[in-house]
C-alpha cells in the first residue's frame, strides 16, 4: 500500500472541499477501497473519512417513501423493520451479498460505488481499460466466465457486482448528492455509466461530490416481490445472475411489473423489454418465459459466458414464479 494521509471530517462542506483535491477518495466502511489500495489499484494521496457525517439514519417520508442515509450499514438496512415490511426485495438483496461481517461494515454509499470484480481489473499484470485507460481489455479474449452479456463494449465487459443496486434499480430509487454547487438528485438509472469507450468513468458523480442519501418512493400499488441470486456457492460469493422483481397482480393479470437483473450487465440492469411483455399480460409461465426472452434479447456472449444468457432467463422466470405465488 502507498503512504496516504487520513483526514477525518465532521461536516459536509469540509468533506467536499477536501475531496476536491486531486488524488482524494472518501472512505466509509473501507471494505472495497482498502482492498484496492493494498493491491495498488487505487493509490489515493489522501483518504477522507466521512463516518462522522450525519448520514446514518433511515426515515419514512410523508409520501410513504423511505430516505436512507449514505452511511447506513448494509446489515442495519436489511434488518430495518420498515424495509422488511415495505421493501422486502431490498432486504433479500442485501442479505444475499458478501458475509455478515462485511455487511456490518459496508455502507449504502460504498455499495453504490463499489468497483467491478473482473479478475483482470485486480491483476496489474494484465491490460485493463478500466484500471489503466487505453491499455486494452484482457477479459475480451481471456477467461470471461464471470463477465457481462448486456451493456458491454469493445473496451470493457465487466459486470457491476452489487446486489443492493439491483433491488434499488427495480425500486426506482433516487440518489441525493452534494457538491460545491449545492445538492442535486440523480435518478438511479442515470447514476452508473455504461463502459462505452471510457470504462474508467463508472458513475455520474462530479469531482468532490458526496452521496448523502438514497430515496425509495412510496409504492403506488400493492406488490409481491422477490430477489433471486444464483452463484457458485451459497454464501460469500458474487452473482452469476440475479433478478429483482416486483409484481402487481390482480384477477390473474399483471397490472405492473418492475424488473432488474444482476450479474449480467455492466451496470445494474433495468429490464424494460421484460416489463413491456409483463404489463397487462396474464400471470402465467408462458408470459414469464416471454418476458425472460425479451430481457435477454440484446445479450451478447463471449468465449466462456454464453451460459449466463440461459441462466439469466431461468433466474428471471423462477423469480417471477416465486413472487407471483406469494399470497
Ligand X SMILES: Cc1cc2nc3c(=O)[nH]c(=O)nc-3n(C[C@H](O)[C@H](O)[C@H](O)COP(=O)(O)OP(=O)(O)OC[C@H]3O[C@@H](n4cnc5c(N)ncnc54)[C@H](O)[C@@H]3O)c2cc1C
Interface with ligand X (CB under 6 A), residue from 9, 26, 95, 302: 26
Instruction: Decide: is 170 part of the binding site for ligand SF4 (CB under 6 A).
Output: no
> Environment class of residue 19 by beta-carbon count within 10 Å: exposed (0-12), middle (13-18) or buried (19+)?
buried
Interface of this chain with ligand X, residues 96 to 135, rule: CB under 6 A: 97-98, 102, 105-107, 109-111, 113-114
DSSP assignment of 112-177 equals: HHPPP--HHHH-TTS-BTTTSTTS-BHHHHS--TTS-SBS-BTTB-PPP--SHHHHHHHTT-EEEE
Q: 428471471: which residue's cell?
A: 316
| Separation between Cα atoms, residue 112 and residue 27, nearest integer Å | 13
Is the distance from CB of 274 to CB of 169 less than 8 angstroms?
Answer: no
- Residue 118 interacting partner from ligand SF4, ligand X, none (CB closer than 5 to 8 Å by kind): ligand SF4
Distance between CA atoms of residues 325 and 327, nearest Å:
6
Instruction: Report the interhelical angle of 307-324 vs 285-295 (nearest 10°).
Output: 140
Q: Write down the least CB distance from residue 319 to ligand X, Å.
A: 17
Q: Which of 188, 192, 169, 163 is nearest to 262 (CA)?
A: 163
Residue pair 146/232 in contact by the 8 Å Cβ criterion: no
Selection from ligand X, ligand SF4, none that 238 binds (CB < 5 to 8 A by kind) is ligand X
Partner whose footprint covers residue 102, from ligand SF4, ligand X, none (CB < 5 to 8 Å by kind): ligand X
- Indicate whether 208 belongs to the interface with ligand X (CB under 6 A): no
Q: Are 72 and 108 in contact (CB under 8 A)?
A: yes
The count of other CB atoms within 10 Å of the CB of residue 198 is 15
Q: Is 211 in the site for ligand X (CB under 6 A)?
A: yes
- 24, 31, 91, 129: which one contacts ligand SF4 (CB under 6 A)? 129
Residue 316 interface partner, choices ligand SF4, ligand X, none, CB cut-off 5-8 Å depending on type = none
204 burial type by CB count under 10 A (0-12 exposed, 13-18 middle, 19+ buried): middle
Q: What is the smallest separation between the CB atom of 164 and ligand SF4, expressed in angstroms?
A: 20
How many residues contact ligand SF4, by CB under 6 A? 15
The residues pairing with 280 across neighbouring beta strands, listed in sequence order, are: none
Among 68, 118, 170, 244, binds ligand SF4 (CB under 6 A): 118
Q: Report in angstroms how near the CB of residue 313 gets to ligand SF4 at its nearest.
A: 23
Q: Could you give the string, one character per residue 140-169, with x where binding to ligand X holds by CB under 6 A and - elsewhere?
A: ---------------------xxxx-----
199 touches ligand SF4 by CB under 6 A: yes
Q: Is there a contact between 91 and 225 (Cβ–Cβ < 8 Å)?
A: no
Q: Does 41 bind ligand SF4 (CB under 6 A)?
A: no
Closer to ligand X at the Cβ: 50 or 312?
50
Q: Which residues bind to ligand X, rule: CB under 6 A? A: 25-33, 35, 50, 70, 97-98, 102, 105-107, 109-111, 113-114, 161-164, 210-211, 238
- Residues of the shown chain interacting with ligand SF4 in the complex, contacts defined by CB under 6 A: 116, 118, 120-121, 128-130, 137-139, 147, 156-158, 199
Amino acid at each position: 500500500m502507498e503512504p496516504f494521509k487520513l483526514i477525518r471530517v465532521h461536516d459536509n462542506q469540509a468533506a467536499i472541499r477536501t475531496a476536491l483535491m486531486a488524488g482524494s477518495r472518501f472512505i466509509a466502511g473501507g471494505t472495497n477501497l482498502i482492498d484496492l489500495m493494498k493491491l495498488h489499484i487505487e493509490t489515493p494521496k489522501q483518504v477522507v473519512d466521512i463516518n462522522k457525517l450525519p448520514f446514518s439514519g433511515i426515515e419514512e417520508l410523508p409520501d410513504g417513501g423511505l430516505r436512507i442515509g449514505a452511511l447506513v450499514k448494509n446489515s442495519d438496512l436489511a434488518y430495518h423493520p420498515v424495509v422488511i415490511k415495505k421493501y422486502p426485495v431490498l432486504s433479500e438483496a442485501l442479505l444475499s451479498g458478501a458475509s455478515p461481517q462485511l455487511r456490518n461494515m459496508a455502507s449504502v454509499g460504498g455499495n453504490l460505488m463499489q468497483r467491478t470484480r473482473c479478475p483482470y481489473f485486480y491483476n496489474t499484470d494484465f491490460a485493463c481499460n478500466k484500471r489503466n485507460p487505453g491499455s486494452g481489455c484482457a477479459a475480451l479474449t481471456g477467461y470471461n466466465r464471470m463477465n457481462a452479456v448486456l451493456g458491454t463494449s469493445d473496451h470493457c465487459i465487466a459486470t457491476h457486482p452489487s446486489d443492493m443496486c439491483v433491488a434499488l434499480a427495480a425500486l426506482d430509487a433516487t440518489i441525493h448528492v452534494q457538491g460545491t454547487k449545492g445538492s442535486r438528485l440523480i435518478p438511479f438509472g442515470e447514476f452508473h455509466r455504461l463502459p462505452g469507450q471510457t470504462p474508467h468513468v463508472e458513475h455520474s458523480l462530479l469531482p468532490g461530490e458526496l452521496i448523502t442519501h438514497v430515496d425509495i418512493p412510496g409504492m403506488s400499488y400493492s406488490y409481491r416481490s422477490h430477489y433471486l441470486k444464483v452463484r457458485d456457492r451459497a454464501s460469500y460469493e458474487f452473482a452469476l445472475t440475479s433478478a429483482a422483481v416486483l409484481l402487481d397482480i390482480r384477477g390473474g393479470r399483471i397490472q405492473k411489473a418492475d424488473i432488474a437483473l444482476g450479474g449480467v450487465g455492466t451496470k445494474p440492469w433495468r429490464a424494460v423489454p421484460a416489463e413491456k411483455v409483463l404489463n397487462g399480460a396474464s400471470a402465467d409461465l408462458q408470459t414469464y418465459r416471454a418476458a425472460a426472452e425479451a430481457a435477454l434479447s440484446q445479450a451478447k456472449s463471449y468465449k466462456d459466458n454464453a451460459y449466463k444468457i440461459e441462466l439469466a432467463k431461468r433466474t428471471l422466470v423462477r423469480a417471477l414464479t416465486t413472487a407471483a405465488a406469494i399470497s
